[in-house]
Amino acid sequence: MLWALVAWPVVCGLYLWFTRPGRWPSVHLQVHGLAGATPTPTPTPTPTPKRRSRFLRWPSAPLCLWGLGLAAGLLALARPQAVLLLPSRLDTVMLAIDTSGSMRATDVLPSRLEAAQAAVRTFIEEQPIQVKVGIVTLSGTAAVAQAPTTQRDDLFRSIENLPLQRGSALGSGIVVALANLLPGSGIDPEKVIMEADGPPKPDSGHALVAPGQASNQVKLTPGANKSMAIVLITDGQSNMGPDVLKMAQLAADHGVRVYTVGVGTPEGVVLRAQGMSMRVRLDETVLKKVAEITEANYYRASDAQQLLEVYRQLGTTIRLEKHQLTEVTAVLLSLAMALVLLGSAISFRRHARVL
C-alpha cells in the first residue's frame, strides 16, 4: 500500500497545472456613470492587520497543509507500526519478602530487612489505587502474610513486624506467590514444597499442579501475562525448599514475570549468633537467572536510599511495557485530518471559501 504515495506528487502536479497563470481567461468589468465619467470610489480606512505567524501569512500555507495531510492519509493505508512505551494492564502484584536470618545483616543500614520494609511501603504507596498488592514471607518455608488487596492499611500492618526465621526457600516464595496470583491454575504449593525434600515419585512430572489439572495447562510465552507480576526481595541465598530456577520456569510457563531485588552487598558482613559466625553475601547470580527466565529485570540495592530508588523505578517498569510493537494507523489518520482541517480553516478565513 506504500505505492499509494505515488498519488501525492500526481495530485500536486495536477493542481499546479490547472491553476497555472493564463489557464483560465480573466473577465474585466467596468462600470460607467451616466455622463460617461467613472465615479471616484470613496476611500475606506485600512484596518490594522492582526499579528499572525509568518507561516499563516504565507499564501501557499493551505496548499502545503493539504499536501501534508494527503501524504499522512496515504501513508496510513499501509497500516504502519511503531515501537512505543505503553501502559500495561497491571491488576495484581505479589511481593515475596525474604525473612531469613541473613536479612539481619547491616551492610544495608539499619538492616537488610528494615531497609526492605521501608522501600516496600514506598512501593505500595506509589501503586495506582486499583492495583491489588499481596505479601508473601519466606524463610524455611513460605506463607501468605496478606492476600492481594487494595486496602493499603492492611498491607502496611502486614509488613510492620516480620519475624526472622532460619532457612531461605526462594522457590517456595515464588510458587506460593504464583498460586495466589492464579488461584484457578491448579498449582498446589503445599505438594510442591513437600515433594521438594523427598525422593521423586513416578508421577513427579505432574507435581507442580493439583491432580487432574496438569495436562490441561497451556504454556504461555514468558512475560505474556501483563496483568500480574511477582517481586522477589531477598539477598539471593536459597538453601531450602524447591529449586528456585524450576519455580521461575513454572512462573514463566504461566506468563508471569518475577522481578528480583537484591538487598545487600557482594562482600557481605559477618553475622554472629549462638556462638557461631558466618559471612552472608548477596548472591546475584541466581536472582539474575530468575529474572532472565521470566523476562523480567534484576535490581541491586546496596544501601537504603538506593533501595528506595530501585522500588520507584520498579513501579514504573511494572506499569509500563517497553518496546511494544503497536499499529499507529489511527495516529496518522488523525494527523491527516487535523492538517486538512487547519488548511481549510486558513483558506476560509482568507477567501470565505475552502478552495
The cell for 206 is: 505432574
pLDDT of 134 reads: 95
Is residue 252 situated within a structural domain?
yes
Place of cell 451616466: 34
Q: How far apart are CA 154 and CA 6, in angstroms?
A: 63
Domain range for residue 199?
A: 87-326
The cell for 258 is: 518475577
Q: How far apart are CA 100 and CA 191, in angstroms?
A: 22
Is residue 346 situated within a structural domain?
no
Q: What CATH number is attached to the domain comprising 212?
A: 3.40.50.410
Q: How far apart are CA 57 and CA 338, in angstroms?
A: 19
Is residue 19 situated within a structural domain?
no
Number of domains, the chain? 1
Pairing of strands 257-263, 92-98: unpaired
Tell me whether the omega of the peptide bond preceding residue 200 falls within 30 degrees of 0, making it cis: no
Q: How far apart are CA 224 and CA 240, in angstroms?
A: 29
Tens-level pLDDT at each residue, the chain (355 residues): 778 777 778 877 777 776 666 655 555 545 444 445 555 566 655 555 555 555 555 567 777 888 888 888 888 888 888 876 666 667 899 999 999 988 988 888 889 999 899 889 988 988 888 889 999 999 988 999 999 999 999 999 999 888 888 888 999 999 999 999 998 888 888 888 887 665 555 444 444 544 334 334 578 888 888 889 999 999 888 888 899 999 999 999 999 999 999 998 888 888 877 777 888 888 899 999 999 999 999 998 877 787 878 887 787 777 666 556 678 888 888 998 998 888 888 877 777 666 6
What is the C-alpha end-to-end distance of the chain, expressed in Å? 28
| Chain segment 59-89, per-residue pLDDT in tens | 677 778 888 888 888 888 888 888 766 666 6
Helix, strand, coil share (%) of the chain residues, nearest 5: 40, 20, 40
**Can you tell me whether residue 277 is helix, strand or coil?**
strand
Contact 89, 27 (CB under 8 A): no
Is residue 192 situated within a structural domain?
yes
Is residue 288 situated within a structural domain?
yes
Q: Which amino acid is at 272?
A: R
CA nearest neighbour of 170 among 86, 109, 85, 231: 231
Is residue 334 situated within a structural domain?
no
Is residue 336 situated within a structural domain?
no
CA nearest neighbour of 256 among 86, 149, 100, 96: 96
Q: Which amino acid is at 39?
A: P
- The set of residues, in sequence order, having a beta carbon less than 8 Å from that of 207 and lying 6+ positions away, is 191, 192, 195, 201
Long-range contacts of 1-10 (CB under 8 A, 24+ apart): 1/77, 1/78, 1/79, 2/75, 2/78, 4/74, 4/77, 4/78, 5/71, 5/74, 5/75, 7/70, 7/74, 8/67, 8/70, 8/71, 8/74
pTM to 2 decimals? 0.65
- Radius of gyration over every alpha carbon of the chain, rounded to an integer in angstroms: 34
CA nearest neighbour of 290 among 348, 239, 245, 224: 245
Place of cell 495536477: 14
Is residue 9 situated within a structural domain?
no
Pairing of strands 276-280, 269-273: antiparallel
